[in-house]
Amino acid sequence: MNILKFRKAIDNIASLRRTDKLSTACGKTKRHWSFSILSRFIKAAKYLILLTIFSLTGSLHIHKPGTKLYFMDTELKSNQPIELEGIKKIRRASVEHVILKNCTGIIDQETFKHFPKLKRLSIWKSRINEINTNLSVTAFESIGSYLPDLDANFQGKFPNVKELLFYKTEKFNVHTVIWKNFKHLKVLKISDVDFAENCVTKNLFRGMESLEELGLSNNNIGCVTADAFSSLKSLQSLDLTYNRIKSFPSTIFKGLTNLEDLGLFENPLIHFSINMLADQRHHLRVLGLDWAVLKNEKVTAEKLLKAFPNLKFITFGHLDMPQDFYAGSFCQILKENNVLCENETVFGASILLYQYF
């Protein structure tokens, strides 16, 4: 998801408050609701109702008729379609997204046979013992789950996949052999898993020239080689937050001319120069960097604005804004130039979202 769009969605939720407008007609004062705010309130209320129903009822929940299905506490049996009891009225052929939560069992060619248009598969807090079939989905995510077959044959199980997300996936060791030949992959987000090597190298992304979003947050990564991202010319978003990286090679971002969103905070960076982002001068819109790094490098607001004329948002990543006079004045200058300066955690978002599953 584009980070600015993510932030806008958060702002919409935060703005769900009553707006009183006064207008006068025929000598009387009328009080009414803003239509746009009211409509957002109604949508949010519907979402909360659906979420409540999902948490209190049985194993199945319909998010949108004909598009998304939740299966909860369901056993996936070999050579049997997933149980569809209670959803006879749904147009099964239109289902595009299936979510499995607290489920166990086996995924084979029969499991999703009733969903020929299935595009997205999400597995939350489940234990899948076998995947013995190729899945035609274009998006796959595993959150807090156990999955088998995370080996050289993994790519073959998802020949059409364009988005992959792994967070807290049990016994998931990131090894270069797993990611071989994901030629169509656009989005890859891996968080809170074990990397086979402490250092990220270009071998990890071999054959991923189409990759646009890369998230490697919270993986205990200690270093990144100078050529690690050299083959990712289409990369637009890069998240390296919440790791153990102390320094970056000076040429690490060279050639990434499409990079718009970069998150680096919550790393023990000893030195970081914004000159390393020369190739991002005309594209960078979102920057996540610790305030201490900016302060130590004597990066002023004016210097930052000059270096990145299209910058829209900078985040320090902390739970609290830095209690520093210069941080306050730094942000004030940015805001006067239409650049948001806040403690939003738009990077590493999967870490926060996991708390709600």
Residues 78-116: pLDDT tens digits?
999 998 776 655 567 788 999 999 999 999 999 999 898
In this predicted structure, the answer to whether residue 77 has a pLDDT above a threshold of 90 is: yes
CATH topology of domain 169-191+205-220+228-357: 3.80.10
CA 7, CA 341: separation in Å to the nearest integer? 12
Between 49 and 320, residue with greater pLDDT? 320
In this predicted structure, the answer to whether residue 54 has a pLDDT above a threshold of 50 is: no
The model's pTM? 0.79
Residue of 100, 213, 210 whose CA lies nearest to 146: 100
Ordered by start, the domain boundaries in the chain are: 169-191+205-220+228-357
**46: buried, middle or exposed (CB in 10 Å: 19+, 13-18, 0-12)?**
exposed
> Which residues are registered as beta bridge partners of 174?
195
Lowest mean pLDDT of 3-17, 87-101, 147-161, name the range: 3-17
pLDDT-derived band at 13 (thresholds 50, 70, 90) equals very low
Q: State pLDDT tens for residues 259-317.
A: 999 999 999 998 899 999 999 999 999 999 999 899 999 999 999 999 999 999 999 88
pLDDT, averaged across the chain: 78
Residue 344, pLDDT score: 67
In this predicted structure, the answer to whether residue 63 has a pLDDT above a threshold of 70 is: no
In this predicted structure, the answer to whether residue 9 has a pLDDT above a threshold of 70 is: no
Pairing of strands 68-72, 97-101: parallel
- Classified as helix, coil or strand, 300 is coil
Q: State pLDDT tens for residues 197-217.
A: 778 888 888 888 899 999 999
Give φ, ψ of 158 to 5 degrees.
-130, 70
Residue 18, pLDDT score: 33
CA 139, CA 108: separation in Å to the nearest integer? 17
